[in-house]
Structure 1
Amino acid sequence: MQAEIEFENKLRNLLSEYDKNLEDVIFTLSSFEELQNSTVVEGNFLKKGRMLRTYQNPYTGQIVKTVACNKRLLRCWKDEFGGDVVKRWLV
């Protein structure tokens, strides 16, 4: 319990030092997590101007994020289910 109180006090001091609040921290962390899970993205476009596409396999729930269709798992899906079917899995 003491460690939690100490952590909260340090966090509040840090927030006040940078003039931030908890909502700012949550937004920053969620944005950082999204970037880690995809690549360097601005909106849905990579810096090169190519659109990031997300496919989700409805049978397994697996998700693939890609700019081109060269991801190994995506190619396997296209071989197994057909390209037209996999195109409908675009999220």
Structure 2
Amino acid sequence: MSRLAEFRALEQQLAAQLAELESLKNDDGLKREIEFEKKLRDLLAEYGYSLRNIIAILDPQASRRAPAATESKTGTRKPRDVKIYKNPNSGELIETKGGNHRQLKEWKNEFGADVVESWRTQ
């Protein structure tokens, strides 16, 4: 698209958005909401309260629910499964939950990761 065509398209989008903004400015419902919010914020400032204080007054359980919701997201995760590898050459067994096992790394360097993964019994 040429720069001129891009400019014209953006100009049309801007005109459409400005028209939508003007129609919202004349909307009585929006005017009432803005007036309500302004009066509410003035009232909160007059008494030294914040929105959190009001939420705590109206819904005391809200503060107890919020940490539980965030805790489940970042809290404990499912424990890793134990992986068992058996070296067919030596018969040696390794049980590990992660891939950071010293002997397992040595085997992977020596025999290759694909080969060692084929040794998994569980």
Structure 2 length as normaliser, TM-score?
A: 0.35
Which of 1 and 2 has greater Rg? 2
Structure 1 length as normaliser, TM-score?
A: 0.47
| Bigger fraction of residues in strand | 1
| Bigger fraction of residues in helix | 2
